[in-house]
A = this chain, B = another copy of it.
Amino acid sequence: MAFLEFTRLDERSVIEYVKSVAALSSLLKLDDEGDAAEKLTVKEIGDGNLNFVFLVSNSAHSVIMKQSLPYIRCIGESWPLTKDRAYFEAMALEEQGRITPHHVPQLYHFDPTMSLIAMRYLPPPHIILRKGLIAGIQYPLLARHIAHFMANTLFFTSLLFHSTLDHKRQVAKFCGNSALCKHTEQVVFSDPYQISQYNHWTSPYLDPDAEALRHDNLLKLEIAILKSKYMPFPHSTLLCSVLLTHINFLIVFCSSRFSEQAQALIHGDLHTSSVMVTPESTQVIDPEFAFYGPMGYDIGAFLGNLMLAFFAQDGLVDQPDHRKAYKEWILETVEDTWNLFYKNFVALWDEHRNGAGEAYLPAVYNNPEVQLLAQKRYMTELFHDSLGFGAAKMIRRIVGVAHVEDFESITDAAKRASCERKALNLAKMLLKDRTKFEGIAQIVSAIRQF
């Protein structure tokens, strides 16, 4: 059976598909004699909002098959979404995997027609980090691994490392999906601050809180700044629609999604459900929102979701004290993640400062003092960006369309609302006052006070 046009796969047809692709047949040893060829099992294991995910395995191997659908799975066909996003996910897996192979699952196969990615299965005990955080499991290497992932993927895709020409080439490859971008613009930067049919919250407890967001002028000012940093670079769609009428194969370059700040290749959705963990392993998955955007969007997503996990803890157990040590571990992880990121990133910058990067020409930034000043300023702005984006992402998870399991699994609504309110208030403060903070230790102190 050949798959020459987009077909939504099910547990049956995915087997047909695997058999039709040589790379996958070979991994699963389907052409060999013996048991492997016979005993293929398929399980749909997707729990995300946007895709179907199948685990196809036999005694020889296990493969993840992820298919993007042309709408948001949890909302249904009423919210269409381009399935071209699989292309960007595949490209990002490849690029981030090249840069940090220990923290990204291997890409086996990509089929643009089917919007289908085949990649390495991360076997148990790998679980989604968010589930680990809900269960109260400590991951002693998490901060180090994520800091490594972020510092390397962000540095090596920025103009600190790239020449302008290389940067252009890379950005072109990742010119993204305007539908996905428009989606983020709406759900992260607009809806929480206006009346929207998609918004919901723990009602009636948080009714006044949600109302207050829509009347908080200072917050609206800050979100405007972040939105403009994230917003798609406004030209590519037309250029590409002109194109499309002429060259079909260029479709991957089209309906582009650029940030006003094309700082680096960002994962674009680096929350705690995009990370799979064991105590020894940290794997970053699902980069379908990847594009050249502001670095702080990734760092903020990760730190903001750790903070959500922190505030959920008291609702997850009967006695708040039961998770006291665990809450401390989360705060340490917040602090270590930023500090290790900072250290790694600046070390990479120092190492490559006489390289091809064109942001700070060595002939101009030609002494250790100016280098240090430039780095400090750069990192301070990145820190403030990260706090702002992190806060924006916390807010939208409490009053916007898509919530997080950390809070959703607290069944007592009053208790849940109380946890959410603390997180919301912290996030509001961070969004408004982020530039007053000089280091992550101050953030951790502020969290402790809530």
A187 on the interface (CB 8 Å rule)?
no
Q: Which residues of B contact A246 (CB under 8 A)?
A: 246-247
User: How many angstroms between the C-alpha atoms of A169 and B240 in the bound complex?
Assistant: 11
Contact with B along A222-252 (1 / 0, CB 8 A): 0110001000111111110011001100100
Q: Which residues of B contact A235 (CB under 8 A)?
A: 168, 171-172, 175, 258, 262, 292
Q: Which of B194, B237, B366 contacts A168 (CB 8 A)?
A: B237
A190 on the interface (CB 8 Å rule)?
yes
Minimum C-beta distance from A71 to chain B (A): 22
A145-153, A304-312, A357-365, A427-435: which lies at the interface = A357-365
Q: Which of B237, B242, B365 contacts A220 (CB 8 A)?
A: B365
Q: Which of B171, B250, B361, B374 contacts A221 (CB 8 A)?
A: B374
Q: Which residues of B contact A215 (CB under 8 A)?
A: 367
Minimum C-beta distance from A363 to chain B (A): 4
Contact with B along A358-386 (1 / 0, CB 8 A): 01110111110110011001000000000
Q: Which of B164, B224, B239 contacts A239 (CB 8 A)?
A: B239
Minimum C-beta distance from A241 to chain B (A): 9
**Is the beta-carbon distance between B262 and A262 smaller than 8 angstroms?**
no
**What's the number of copies of this chain in the assembled complex?**
2
If A168-B238, A234-B167, A253-B242 touch, does A221 touch B359 (CB 8 Å cutoff)?
Answer: no
User: How many angstroms between the C-alpha atoms of A145 and B218 in the bound complex?
Assistant: 35
**Is the beta-carbon distance between B194 and A236 smaller than 8 angstroms?**
no
A418 on the interface (CB 8 Å rule)?
no
The B-contacting residues of A in range 359-416, CB under 8 angstroms, are 359-361, 363-367, 369-370, 373-374, 377
Minimum C-beta distance from A160 to chain B (A): 11
The B-contacting residues of A in range 250-306, CB under 8 angstroms, are 250, 253, 258, 260-262, 292
A195 on the interface (CB 8 Å rule)?
yes
Of A221, A235, A258, chain B has the most CB atoms within 10 Å of the CB of A235
Q: Which residues of B contact A236 (CB under 8 A)?
A: 168, 172, 239
**Is the beta-carbon distance between A221 and B175 smaller than 8 angstroms?**
no
A217 on the interface (CB 8 Å rule)?
yes
List chain A positions with a Cβ less than 8 A from chain B.
Answer: 159, 164-165, 167-169, 171-172, 175, 190, 193-195, 215, 217-218, 220-221, 223-224, 228, 232-239, 242-243, 246-247, 250, 253, 258, 260-262, 292, 359-361, 363-367, 369-370, 373-374, 377
**Other contacts beyond A235-B258, A235-B262, A260-B260: 18, CB < 8 A:** A159-B234, A172-B236, A172-B238, A175-B239, A194-B366, A195-B363, A217-B369, A217-B370, A220-B370, A224-B359, A224-B360, A224-B374, A228-B359, A235-B292, A239-B239, A243-B247, A243-B250, A260-B262
